Amino acid sequence: MARMHTKKHGKSKSRKPEGDMITPSKKSKSEIEERIREYMKKGSGPTFIGQKLKDIDGVPYIKDTFGKRLVTVMKEQGFVQEFPQDMLDLMKRAVNLRKHIEKNNKDMHNKTRLIRVESKIWRLTKYYKREGILPQEWKYDPVKAALIVKG
């Protein structure tokens, strides 16, 4: 299937390694949960925590250890994010592009990139409203997004 904004095609049927190819973690569930709590106290997001667990702590896949995703484990431990991480990343990108466009008004390439990023935000908003992750009355507003990203 082709990508949305380019004519390139993705790598078909790429899968994570299974069974014998995965080296199991040498740490127990309680040790991994403790490391997750430490990273959460530092204010790290789920993507950062997953990367650190993989690189530093040698935990290849959280789902293989716990039987559930990292975000679910974090919610069980009392860490609740107001917005999903992918939505926050896109909002940060949109805020930075708006700042750039304010300074460089004639930069047409970044204006089109801003349109693409904001269309992704609107698409994600529809999905998260449908899934009940975002409230139904929530709307993307660039000014509010700048405040959310700043805070």
Whether 117 and 96 map to the same domain: the answer is yes
User: Domain count of the chain?
Assistant: 2
Residue 149, pLDDT > 60, answer yes
Give kind and range of the element (H or E) at residue 23. none
Would you say residue 15 lies in a domain?
no
Q: Which of 47, 76, 105 is the last residue before a domain boundary?
A: 76
Whether 96 and 121 map to the same domain: the answer is yes
Residue 147, pLDDT > 50, answer yes
What's the distance, CA 100 to chain centroid? 23
Would you say residue 5 lies in a domain?
no
Place of tokens 């250890």: 65
Whether 113 and 71 map to the same domain: the answer is no
Whether 131 and 94 map to the same domain: the answer is yes
- Is the separation of the CB atoms in 97 and 117 below 8 Å? yes
Q: Which residues form the domain of 116?
A: 85-150
Residue 1, pLDDT > 50, answer no
Residue 139, pLDDT > 80, answer yes
Whether 96 and 68 map to the same domain: the answer is no
Would you say residue 64 lies in a domain?
yes
Per-residue pLDDT band for 20 (boundaries 50, 70, 90) equals: low
Whether 67 and 110 map to the same domain: the answer is no
pTM given for the model: 0.74
Would you say residue 2 lies in a domain?
no
Would you say residue 71 lies in a domain?
yes
Residue 16, pLDDT > 80, answer no
CATH code: domain of residue 112: 1.10.287.10
Would you say residue 62 lies in a domain?
yes
Whether 127 and 91 map to the same domain: the answer is yes
Q: CA dihedral in degrees (22, 27, 33, 37; nearest 10)?
A: -110
Round to whole Å and give the CA distance between 9 and 21. Answer: 27
Per-residue model confidence as pLDDT tens digits over 65-99: 888 988 888 888 888 788 888 999 999 999 999 99
Residue 142, pLDDT > 70, answer yes
Tell me the average pLDDT of the chain. 87
Per-residue model confidence as pLDDT tens digits over 91-129: 999 999 999 999 999 999 999 999 999 999 999 999 999
Would you say residue 32 lies in a domain?
yes
Beta pairing partners, 50: none
